[in-house]
Structure formats: structure tokens, C-alpha cells
Structure 1
Amino acid sequence: MAPHSNFLRWGAFGFASAALVACDATQAPLAVKTPPARPSVQAETQLQPTSEKSAALRSYLVQVQSAQLSQGLLREDGGGADTPFTADMLARNFERIVFFNEYDTALRGRGGESPLRRWSAPVRVGTIFGNSIPPSQRNADGTAIRNYARRLSQITGHPIMSFGAPNFIVIVASEDDRGAALDAAAARVPGISRESLNALRNLSRDTYCAVAAYAAGSDANTYTAAVAVIRAENPGLLRLSCIHEEMAQALGLANDSDARPSIFNDDDEFALLTQHDELLLKMLYDPRLSPGMSAAEAAPIARTIALELTTGPS
């Protein structure tokens, strides 16, 4: 199955370790006072014409979305009576998604086991739009990103905001301007080099989106920065599904599995974050767990949290 969403996890000190997460063509707050919305960071100010390569990719991805919808994929309901899960299933899925990497740093092979990693400092989300993206799409995607950041903050209890100097850049760019947007992100976010973003420059046709998360501080298990790339050629629902998956994965849900109902599953049954996925995020940012824990160390705590979230405290 071809990758459709990639997650790349870079370690501290020269970005020594990594894991990348991508998406598939055969499937698919803490209370924070929010100031008035600020303009998105732009890679350029003038629109550029679309190349034949970008136009062909857009046509292909429109067909992909149409085929997925005709097969009952890309669900937006978050799961229901047909997708029950137990506390044991939730704990097992948490282990598979948090403690393993989907890809290596070059997007060529599977990643290995990993300790628990997440953010400690507030996450400040900014956007960069390629210079071929029309204002209507910039407005729609910018609103979706800001709203989703607010939702993720409410779910995790971790401060995730859309103002201040960004340490998490979401790029929406086409084949024609992704390179320039990546250069702009590297120049804007401390702890990210131009070279460390090379894996995001040449994506396969079946990769709809990707994200790289960085631990560039003293703790290799604490994220300090992230860059997500969303193909602008994706039609509306595919583009929104990429926003949902990449922003959530950059918080520490690094792997895909057979979890259901979940967006962390290569079958693309679900387009948008599900109830199950919200619980995974709550578990990840529960203070009883901490960065650096191994799967074995976290397992008994994760089972307790999963039971509480599905049945209530004992």
C-alpha cells in the first residue's frame, strides 16, 4: 500500500533520529485568551500560474477522493455503533501508535521502536501558503488549521495556539512552490535547518501530506518544533483530512496501525479525527505519563487511563 501521509521524527543534536508519517492514494486548552487573528505567514505575495505537473496531480487527487467516497471511505462521523472499542483495545492501539515510528528519516523503510515523545512547551501554530494558492483557499485552510489547533488544545489540555512566534509551521503548497515554502519555514523556526527538510521536498505522487517533528533541545524525547506539508492539489476533504492527521501526529502519535475507528490507519476509512483518536491524545498528554517512557514502563499506566476514559474512574 502506497504511503499517503508521512511522519518524520527528528532527534536532538544534529537531528540524529527520525520517523516520518505520510497518507495513501488507495484509501485515504488549556483556556487561552485568543487575540484577533493575525495574517498567515506567506511564502510569497503574488500568485503564480499553475504548471502542467501540478494540474495533472490535482486531477489525479480529485479522482482519488471520488473513488474513496464511492467506496464509503473518508468518513466524517468519528465512529459509531459499527466501530466499538474497549479499554483493552484503546490501550493496545495507544502502544502501537505512540511507541513505534511509521517511517525512517528518508521515507524509504519502516521505523523502529521509540520512547514516548510529546511537547512540553506551548505549541504555536503558524501557516505558510505557497504563492500559487488563491485567497479563497488560503482563507478556508487557515480557518480550518486555527480551529483544529483550538480543538487539539481542548482535547489534550496542552496549550496549542495560533498566535505568537510559531514553532509548528503548517505549509499548504503545490508542486510548484513547496520548495520555497520549506525554505521559508526553515528560516522562520529555530531548531530546523534547510537540509533537515529535504525529505519533504520530493514527495511521491501517492503521498498527499507529511510532517516532520523535531526534538532540538536538551531532551531528545521532547518536541520543540514541527513542519507539516499539505499538498495544495488535494481536493477539499482530502486536504482537511491531511490537516487533521498531520497536526495530530506531530503531537506524538507517530505511527499508523489497524486501529479502528481512527485516522491513524492506512485504510482511510475515516477522514477526520475520531472519538477514539481524541482519547489517544488525552492519554498521550496525561501527566501520569512522561516523555522518554518505554512501552513497557507506560503499559500499566496506559491501561489504567484507558479504563478511566472508557468506563470512568473506579
Structure 2
Amino acid sequence: MAAPPQGMAAPPPDAAPGPEPATRSEESIALEGYYARVQAGLLDRGLLRTDSGGTDAPFTDTDLARNFRQIAFFEEYSSVGGQLVQKETESLLHRWEGPVRMEVTFGRAVDLETRARDGQAIAEYADRLARVTGHPIRQVSSGGNFHVFVLYEDERREIGPELRRIIPRLDDTAVATVENLPRSSYCLVFAWDPQNDGVYTKAVAVIRAEHPDLFRLSCIHEELAQGLGLANDSPFARPSIFNDDEEFGLLTTHDEMLLKMLFDKRLRPGMSADEARPIIDQMAAELAGGTS
């Protein structure tokens, strides 16, 4: 569920209060079948776990500190030749300083049952993120600054004008990344740092409506957490959703610790990894010093 780096926010132009009669393309219907097979394959291999790890996935404070540095101080994607490509680059600490207001928008073809299920899941997850981080995070019906879109293929491909309306300075690379999302990218999130000082003020997450329920919920958990400032993945992070192996589908206790560290007042946006290292080590020891 990889997520490109900082850059934007928005709702789709054709969002409407209720779903229209079937307007989906054959491509979207084929994708729905494909992702159902992907989820089934992952579950058959014991992946997309919904627990927090337990005794089979131990971690120490040293592990936690290492994982935080890798996930919070690196970007997973870089702009190369006008395209966003998966290329890890070092960054400064990013997070939100103001309240986070998550606004959910569904594509017109998304059915009422999915809207109800996902809307409730996002509201509950926003409350959980607020409790974990100690930061004001909530779902709103309008006036959001963190936009979450659940869209079918055709709807996502038409989102460009709305993205530019929300962030007028948004570049073509960012728009093209959303509109031309390859099948191998399950979902994505962008966050915007307008002053280039490490402070996010807007974000947008795009979730494919073609995904089956658990896969869609997994995308929601990862992208909304990454959009708060945990922008990278690490193959060493376990038990964690910030790992492309898809072992864990939902936020774990380990990940909650990462979020607590991200919003700890001892850190500040714009800090480098070297500057933050002693603070990170101290926080990790406080949170996981007894974990083995």
C-alpha cells in the first residue's frame, strides 16, 4: 500500500450524495475481480493480519527507534523526470501542527452499504488516531483539510481539476500520479507542506473502491497514518503496516508507538534524523523498554 511523498489534497468533482445506477466501466469491474483474488491470495498465505503481532512478532526499544528513523525521516517516493518513482530519499521530520479534519468523499458509483461501512470505519479510526497521538484529529462532513476519497477507476481518472482547485500550485506530476495510478498501487496519500518547514496543512488519500472490504480497510489504516507524517515503509518494521510485505493489514501496537513518537512535543517539524536521534532513543526506551 505504498504512498508517494508530500504534495497535495482534494475531493473528486463528481462526488454526489447518493450512488447513481451502474456507471462503472468494464475495466473497473475487472479490477474488482483482480483485487478480490489478490486479497484471497494474501489471506491464504496468512497475511493481512488484523492482530497486533503478539508473541510471534517481538520488538525491542532499539528496533522501535530504528524503525521510527527509517519511516519518519525518509520519503518512499521521489520525482524523477516528471514522474514519481519508488526511490527512498532522506527527509526532515514532517507532521501536522494544526487540527486534522478528515473529510470523506465517495465516488457516485459507490453503493450505500460501502459508504456506511467505510464512513464509520474512518470516523472510528480518526478517533483512535487522536487518542494515540494526543493530537486533534476527527472526521468532518465539510471543511476538511485531510480528504479521503473512495473512488472507482473512472472516477479517479477525472479527479485532476478538483486537485488543482484545492491546491492551485499542484504540479502536473502529482496529478498524473493520481489519475494514472497503476494496478500495482493499491492506494496512495499525499500531504502538503506549503512552507517547506515540515508542517503539513493538507492531505489527500485515494482508496480504490474496487477493493474487497478488508483490503480497503487496510488501505485506510495505512494511508491515513502515513498522511500524518510516517511517510516511508521499512522491511525491518514488524509488527507493522509500514512494511510492504502486507503481513499486517491494520494498525498495530508497534505502529501506535510510532505515532506517539511522531507527535511527541520533544520533536519538532523540520528536525533532521541526526538532530532527533537522542530524543528518539529516549522515547523508544520509554515506550518499549520492557518489550522483548
In structure 2, the residue matched to 1:8 is 5
Structure 2 contact 60–289 (Cα < 8 Å) conserved:
no
Q: 2:16 aligns with which of 11, 19, 44?
A: 44
Structure 1 contact 183–194 (Cα < 8 Å) conserved:
no
Deviation readout 1:142-178 (Å, 9 max, x if unpaired): 1111111111011000101112510110000010111
TM-score where L is the length of structure 2 = 0.90
Deviation readout 1:200-223 (Å, 9 max, x if unpaired): 11111111100111012x343100
In structure 2, the residue matched to 1:211 is 189
Q: Partners in 1 of 2:45 and 2:70 — Cα distance? A: 27
In structure 2, the residue matched to 1:78 is 52
**Fraction of identical pairs, as percent:** 49
Deviation at 1:231, TM superposition (A): 0.4
Counterparts of residues 1-314 of structure 1 (less than 5 Å)? 4-10=1-7, 43-45=15-17, 46-47=19-20, 48-105=22-79, 106-163=83-140, 165-181=143-159, 183-184=161-162, 186-187=164-165, 189=166, 193=170, 195=172, 196-216=174-194, 218-258=195-235, 259-311=237-289
Structure 2 contact 92–272 (Cα < 8 Å) conserved:
yes
Which ranges of structure 1 fall in alignment gaps of 5 or more residues?
16-40
Deviation at 1:50, TM superposition (A): 1.7
Deviation at 1:107, TM superposition (A): 2.9
Opposite residue 6 of structure 2, the aligned amino acid is R
Structure 1 contact 7–246 (Cα < 8 Å) conserved:
no
Once superposed, which parts of structure 1, at least 4 consecutive aligned residues long, lie more than 6 Å away? none
* Closer, same or farther: CA 285–298 of 1 in aligned 2, 3 Å: same
- What secondary structure sits across from 2:157 in the alignment? helix
Q: Which one is further off, 124-133 or 45-54?
A: 45-54
Structure 1 contact 104–111 (Cα < 8 Å) conserved:
yes
Between structures 1 and 2, the one with greater helix share:
2
Q: Partners in 2 of 1:215 and 1:230 — Cα distance? A: 22
Deviation at 1:295, TM superposition (A): 0.5
* Closer, same or farther: CA 115–107 of 1 in aligned 2, 3 Å: same
Which ranges of structure 2 fall in alignment gaps of 5 or more residues?
none
Deviation readout 1:179-214 (Å, 9 max, x if unpaired): 344544543x45664844331111111111001110
Aligned residue-pair number: 279
Q: Partners in 1 of 2:231 and 2:5 — Cα distance? A: 8
Opposite residue 132 of structure 1, the aligned amino acid is A
TM-score where L is the length of structure 1 = 0.84
CA RMSD of aligned residues (A): 2.0
* Closer, same or farther: CA 168–182 of 1 in aligned 2, 3 Å: farther
Q: Partners in 1 of 2:91 and 2:137 — Cα distance? A: 24
Q: Partners in 1 of 2:169 and 2:128 — Cα distance? A: 26
- What secondary structure sits across from 1:8 in the alignment? coil
* Closer, same or farther: CA 151–191 of 1 in aligned 2, 3 Å: farther
Structure 2 contact 163–175 (Cα < 8 Å) conserved:
no
Q: Which one is further off, 272-281 or 157-166?
A: 157-166
Structure 1 contact 7–213 (Cα < 8 Å) conserved:
no
- What secondary structure sits across from 2:150 in the alignment? strand
Structure 2 contact 158–179 (Cα < 8 Å) conserved:
no
Structure 1 contact 212–227 (Cα < 8 Å) conserved:
yes
